[in-house]
Amino acid sequence: MTLNTFKRHVRESMKSLGRNGWMTFASASAVTVTLLLVGVFFVVMFNINHFAKKVENDVEIRVHIELTADSRQKDALRRQIEAIPNVKEVRYSSKDEELKRLIKSMGEEGSSFRLFEQDNPLSDVYVVKAAHPQDTVKIAKQIETLPFVHKVNYGQGTVEKLFDALKVARNVGLVLILGLLFTAMFLISNTIKITIFARRREIEIMRLVGATNGFIRWPFFLEGLWLGMLGALFPIAALSIVYYNVYQVYEQWVSLPFFELLPFSPFMWQLSGLLLVIGAGIGVWGSVMSVRKFLKV
């Protein structure tokens, strides 16, 4: 295809959008509605995934060392822990640091534990983080078997349930988004089929004068591209405005310590680009499928 031919296809596709105003509006509206739903699910799922990653990264294993262990034995234990596969970090916390942590975590009631500052009964601790949070339980069970380990805490029972719940939430979200995308493709394909059916006479004339299949397809291909991108503009604008305001209100008035929203930038820029690509892809797919299967061009 020459550059002049491509320019001609671009001009024809643009003119066609104007000539078929109502069908253009119907097709773009179908893209808009479906992408708005997809965009809302993306916003929810990306924030849930952000929360899930933050929770997973906060999971740590606290290895309480036997009180009888000397410095040489503690160093040997550390090397053994570091040698376990998928251990990312091992940090030492002395019993004095553990007491300060306990006092701070208890708030006002923690002052009563200051009595133990002179005779601290707590153990020194190794704080272990896994390279992959899902390996936490497996690593903890291996550490329990090592010598001079008094106790291992990693939120037993709760951590397993948490990981299972996060996995289910991610999988359900993925299925819902894929279902919405397939629904969008179906709706847009049918809308474009109606558009093409209304212009079947135009296509018949093009075939009679010797136009090749590719020559006929290209304007529809480009129309689908413009329709998809046009239909993505409103969802992008609407989601950007709403998310910006929600983010500002949340940061100023709510701001829960255990849950933070993804920052407006770069999140919304990335989501806008994603919706634009999805809209263009759905529009092109709908046009190609309709021309090939419906018109048998």
Instruction: Dump pLDDT digits (tens) for 168-226.
Output: 887 887 888 788 777 767 776 676 667 667 667 777 777 778 777 677 777 777 877 88
| Model-wide pTM > 0.75 | no
Strands 61-65 and 87-93: unpaired
State which residues of the chain have pLDDT below 70.
1, 5, 9, 13, 17-21, 23, 105-119, 157, 184, 188-189, 191-193, 195-196, 198-199, 213, 255-258, 292-297
Distance of CA 290 to the CA centre of its chain: 31
Amino acid at 35: L
| Residue 64 contacts residue 153 (beta carbons within 8 Å) | yes
- CB atoms under 10 Å from CB of 99, counted, come to 18
Residues in the chain: 297
Q: Residue 287 is which amino acid?
A: S
Report how far residue 26's alpha carbon sits from residue 135's, in angstroms, rounded to the nearest whole number. 50
SS (H, E, C) the chain: CCHHHHHHHHHHHHHHHHHCHHHHHHHHHHHHHHHHHHHHHHHHHHHHHHHHHHHHHHCCEEEEECCCCCHHHHHHHHHHHHCCCCEEEEEEECHHHHHHHHHHHCHHHHHHHHHHHCCCCCCCEEEEEECCHHHHHHHHHHHHCCCCEEEEECCCCHHHHHHHHHHHHHHHHHHHHHHHHHHHHHHHHHHHHHHHHHCHHHHHHHHHCCCCHHHHHHHHHHHHHHHHHHHHHHHHHHHHHHHHHHHHHHHHHHCCCCCCCCCHHHHHHHHHHHHHHHHHHHHHHHHHHHHHHHCCC
The Cα 180–Cα 185 span in angstroms is: 9
Gyration radius from the chain CA atoms: 30
> Tell me, what's the pLDDT at 256?
66
